[in-house]
A and B are shown apart, each in its own frame.
Chain A
């Protein structure tokens, strides 16, 4: 694990290599986070503007939230600014939709489990993430989620924004956000479960 406060100090002191390190750590996240909001064509520009803003304003970041959460808020602002420039809005197609439970077939009609949940070999996030193959598999399935679900996962789980903040930023209800997040978690759980049971992605 990277020590975030040390990285922050290095960034504030413009220590050689610090900018490389923060970009290497968070660029992939920022791109994946803004893509569902602004589309593939503007994503690179939004993230680049975000980095310019972040590196210029790093002295004002006091470390009260995780660095990634601060980056998320800045990227959201940059996304909105660029969309305004092109007179476009965040496309929220599919954001009000519930695709239904991805594990409905694991239950009997009575509502009891048909396919029982089994114990996993790994029982901490650290243990799960030490498996390189599994990390790659998680990333692959994250890319495959419906855009709205991926958008919410990126803002909430990886980005660390609160439900109310996401709802206010995007102009959709907290209820919708919670449904999208739940479906995404269930799909990602099914993927992890398959990996734990079969040992393959």
Chain B
């Protein structure tokens, strides 16, 4: 039987589906009985999804600087 600590260590292997058949069975059994680990794995998945969608906007001045630099490199 996996402990909650072990579940937290397996977190990314669970959400990335990198587990062997036996480990997957053990994880499913634990999750079906432990709402805390169910919640943690769900939140870890949400964290990963947030990172996937994270915008990292830049200031308009920076955009203008980059475009000017591209243009001058193009002309070389």
Contacts and interface: CB of A to CB of B under 8 A. Distances in A.
Interface in A125-166: 125-126, 128-129, 135, 138-139, 142, 153, 157-158, 160, 163
Chief secondary structure at chain B's binding surface:
helix
Interface in A30-82: 32, 47-49, 51-52, 55
Contacts of B49: 125
Interface string B2-33: 01111011011100101000000000000000
A153 B40 CA distance: 19
Interface string B35-68: 0110110011011111111111110101110110
Contacts, number: 125
A103 B47 CA distance: 15
Interface residues of A, number: 52
B56 A32 contact: yes
A158 B52 contact: yes
A20 interface: yes
Nearest to B60: A24
A161 B74 CA distance: 29
A117 B54 contact: no
B6 A117 contact: no
Interface residues of B, number: 40
A18 B52 CA distance: 23
Contacts of B3: 110-112
A178 B49 CA distance: 16
A84 interface: no
B43 A189 contact: yes
A157 B4 contact: no
A88 to B, nearest CB: 21
A189 B21 CA distance: 27
Given A25-B55, A28-B57, A111-B6, A178 B12 contact: yes
Interface of B: 3-6, 8-9, 11-13, 16, 18, 36-37, 39-40, 43-44, 46-58, 60, 62-64, 66-67, 69-70, 73-74
5 contacts: A24-B63, A27-B66, A113-B37, A129-B53, A157-B51
